[in-house]
Amino acid sequence: MPVSKKVDDHVIGGTLNKNGALIMEATHVSGDTMLSQIVTLIEEAQTSKAPIQRIADRIAGLFVPLILILSFLTFSGWFIFSEVCIQTAHSCKSSGGNTTISNGTSNGESCSSDCMHIDSVFQYAISVLVIACPCALGLATPTAVMVGTGIGASRGVLIKGGEPLENAHRIKVMVFDKTGTLTYGQPEVVRVILLLKEKVFTSRLFMAVLGLAEGRSEHPLGEAITRFASRELGGDPVGDVTEFEAEPGLGMRCSVKDIELNSSKQQIALYQNKTSVITRRAEIIESDRNNVSSLLSLATEYKVLVGNRMWMARNGINIPEDVEKDIVSHEQQGQTVVLAAINSILCGVLAIADQVKPEARGTVAALRRMGLRVAMLTGDNWRTAEAIAQQVGIYPEDVNAEVLPSHKKTLIESYQQGKTKVAMVGDGINDSPALAQADVGIAIGTGTDVAVEAADIVLVKNDLTDVVAAIDLSRKTVRKIRMNFVWAVLYNAIGLPIAAGVFSPLGVSIQPWMAAAAMALSSVTVVCNSLLLRCVCYRKPQLSERERGSSYLQQSSERGSKTRLHSGAKNEEKVPLLSEGKENRASSWSDYGTRSSNV
């Protein structure tokens, strides 16, 4: 189906423009293009070995010598039996044929009727060699892996080899990053609260300082602030930024100087826009004369701190009680609150909202129906984290808030206790260690190159329902592999005794040409069984009316918070295993209207 594109969207080489005109900028060329990388990835994936194939390789390695031994034993056994008959026939001939047996015939006639000719002995031995088929064992895994990865690629799910394709069906815990994964990762400033009087620090100057400071940041929240400042000022602010330093999961600091605010266009734009989201509550912070003079005396250079509560506390910035109430109010709405301090004075509060992807709730419900435990981790505070979790249907006890990037990997390790298989879905640079640590790392294709490189599965379409498709495809592929193995074992278990002549007394035997035809048929059957995967069609999870309703939000709000906080180096809490606390979770889960019976 056609996909709509807008300004600043990425366009993959090799796609077709259905209508309209495009002006594109080439960001990658030659082997670095997305199309070339997809082709290379598929080629490598289809030639890689799944762990289950190693078992088949070991069996196939023993299969050939065992068949040679079996063929030799078949020949020896029948030859010894037939030679006894030949010796008996020779004895009969030497006696002149006068000896008779109970049926009244001559001894020589009896011998000739019971003896096996030497060509029959060779026939059984050769049939054993011909009908034995290690090919079915050898083809059981690679054919299914090749078809499975091909199907995934055609649906925008790039699986990097047979190992992640096989491991995905064992996943018991699915961990989602929040920003850019469950949400669009395109946050927007929805409210700004200025805490100083206009004569102390003007609105234009505040927005210019923040716009310049966050212009160096690559964090989605920083980019949102930069876009907002440019929009409110009517253009990009002009100035110099030095000593920029970003602390992942906390905030940033820098120095801003030589700010130019002489444009009447900026002043008009800010005046027109400030009534929408910018408010002033100067009564909260009563700046004394020293603070006022401190701001005014350094009118050309400002020390800027932008970040969360922890970042403010680390830098000695106190947060008044009234400001804290405003912060809590926005966090309970699922918004992220950023604090801004200039020259050690708290000057403003910015509330930033990131829209939840519409398919996120359905994806979580579908994964839970498949028997997976779904968790979320985020660097946001626990109120924002729980608000987002309620919107997508993740239980509070599975929400991990205030997780620093350096601790995401540790969190995945804690979920992996007891050999539990864990998958991680993320898109950012700070998700890369966790993606690499997880048994299966799943990266959003629109994310950073580092995250895509560290992941085992890449979702090209930035569609969360493809996570469900990846797990479903893995399960169906592994099921096909097992069916192929069962067929290969049954074929050899039945065919070898028949070829060896075990059932010849019952009149059941085959010629070598029949054995050759059966051998070829067994290999063709395995290949055809794998190709049946192409008949599988993956659909996006369909949300029921119950899942669309608000009962989840209403009921979960009545429960006490069980969200785990992971703050700094003090985070030593271990995540409960699936086998732990089943009774407690069972009783708490019963409060949810959207709980699946398979969980």
**Active-site residue numbers?**
177
3-state secondary structure of 531: helix
Tokens of 238: 């002009």
Contact 173, 440 (CB under 8 A): no
Within 10 angstroms of residue 65's Cβ, the number of other Cβ atoms is 9
CA dihedral over 238, 241, 247, 251, signed as positive or negative: negative
Contact 338, 310 (CB under 8 A): no
DSSP bridge pairs for 183: 356
Q: What count of Cα atoms within 13 Å lies in the side-chain half-sphere of residue 381?
A: 22
Q: Are strands 301-307 and 336-342 parallel, antiparallel or unpaired?
A: antiparallel
The residue with tokens 């950073």 is 448
DSSP bridge pairs for 247: 251
* Angstrom distance (rounded) from CA 234 to CA 267: 8
Q: In sequence order, which residues have a C-beta less than 8 Å from that of residue 269 and are 6 or more positions away?
A: 231, 232, 233, 234, 235
In the sheet that holds 345-353, the strands lie side by side as 238-247, 251-260, 301-307, 336-342, 345-353, 188-194, 278-280
DSSP output for 380-420? S-HHHHHHHHHHHT--GGGEEES--HHHHHHHHHHHTGGG-
Tokens of 101: 């047996």
Tokens of 71: 């063929």
Contact 150, 51 (CB under 8 A): no
* Angstrom distance (rounded) from CA 266 to CA 92: 122
The residue with tokens 């429960």 is 559
Tokens of 186: 């395109």
Contacts made by residues 514-521, CB under 8 angstroms, sequence distance 24+ = 514/127, 515/126, 515/127, 515/128, 515/130, 515/131, 516/130, 516/131, 518/131, 518/491, 519/130, 519/131, 519/132, 519/133, 519/135
* Angstrom distance (rounded) from CA 349 to CA 305: 12
Q: In sequence order, which residues have a C-beta less than 8 Å from that of residue 441 and are 6 or more positions away?
A: 423, 424, 426, 434, 435, 454, 455, 456, 457
Tokens of 123: 């026939």
**Angle at which helices 360-369 and 382-392 cross, to 10°:** 70
